[in-house]
């Protein structure tokens, strides 16, 4: 089984594990060795899954505004954590392929492996929850049929992205492509670059 297929299986397992409690505050330790790529993928998908449900909660029209602000701030922190985790996964790949001799005609990909894997994690969440909608017993037949059609598209999208990620990793390993990672440099979380935080008048 190739890397992206393994990632899909791991993501599906993590999402199922989250829904045992379905609690955004649940603390579940990674079953994988610290520092392994599986451990990093577990942590990334867990954060993605918690944030998915925070995004649902904050859209409750009856939510208390004070609580909504707390959740919004939590989502902001989560987004920064997610970005940091993607960059950490890319560091793993850079180290993994550090010894590869890059071919003279090697090309650059539009995104790094980890950012593609980030999309794979989100797709796993979309597939889980779209399947849930497609199988609802309290929804209309029209709703279920529409969600089944969307689920088919999501599954096709995941299959295509899985193939593309594994092709990219094969190309990097063979020197046909090379990694060039740019840090996200998010400005709004940085007190040195966000005018509101550094007190610009």
**Tens-digit pLDDT profile for residues 114-134:** 999 999 999 999 999 999 999
| pLDDT score of 191 | 74
- Structural domain that includes position 64: 3-187
* Average predicted confidence (pLDDT) for the chain: 93
Q: Are 32 and 38 in contact (CB under 8 A)?
A: yes
Q: At what angle do helices 141-174 and 3-21 cross, to 10 degrees?
A: 140
Dihedral angle of Cα 117, 122, 123, 128, to the nearest 10 degrees: 130
Whether the per-residue pLDDT at 198 is higher than 80: the answer is no
Asked whether residue 201 is domain-assigned, the answer is: no
Asked whether residue 198 is domain-assigned, the answer is: no
Interval 34-91: pLDDT, tens: 989 999 999 999 999 999 999 999 999 999 999 999 999 999 999 999 999 999 999 9
Domain total for the chain?
Answer: 1
| pLDDT score of 195 | 73
| pLDDT score of 156 | 98
CB atoms under 10 Å from CB of 177, counted, come to: 22
CA count, 13 A, side-chain hemisphere, 95? 9
Asked whether residue 194 is domain-assigned, the answer is: no
Asked whether residue 108 is domain-assigned, the answer is: yes
CB atoms under 10 Å from CB of 167, counted, come to: 15
Asked whether residue 40 is domain-assigned, the answer is: yes
Overall average pLDDT of the 162-183 stretch:
92
Asked whether residue 199 is domain-assigned, the answer is: no
Asked whether residue 196 is domain-assigned, the answer is: no
Q: How confident is the model at residue 197 (pLDDT cuts 50, 70, 90)?
A: low
Q: Using DSSP, state whether 107 is helix, strand or coil.
A: strand
Asked whether residue 110 is domain-assigned, the answer is: yes
């Amino acid at each position: 089984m190739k890397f992206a297929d393994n990632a899909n299986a791991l993501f599906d397992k993590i999402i199922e594990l989250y829904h045992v409690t379905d609690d955004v505050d649940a603390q579940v330790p990674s079953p994988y060795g610290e520092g392994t790529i599986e451990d990093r993928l577990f942590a990334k998908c867990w954060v993605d899954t918690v944030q998915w449900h925070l995004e649902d909660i904050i859209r409750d029209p009856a939510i208390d505004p004070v609580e909504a602000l707390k959740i919004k701030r939590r989502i902001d922190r989560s987004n920064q954590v997610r970005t940091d985790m993607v960059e950490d996964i890319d560091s793993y790949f850079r180290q993994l392929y550090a010894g590869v001799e890059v071919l003279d005609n090697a090309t650059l990909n539009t995104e790094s492996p980890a950012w593609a894997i980030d999309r794979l994690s989100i797709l796993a969440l979309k597939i889980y929850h779209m399947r849930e909608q497609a199988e609802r017993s309290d929804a209309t037949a029209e709703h279920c049929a529409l969600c089944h059609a969307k689920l088919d598209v999501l599954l096709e999208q995941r299959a295509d992205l899985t193939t593309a990620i594994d092709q990219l990793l094969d190309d990097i390993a063979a020197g046909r492509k090379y990694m060039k990672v740019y840090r996200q440099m998010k400005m709004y979380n940085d007190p040195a670059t966000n005018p509101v935080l550094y007190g610009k008048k």
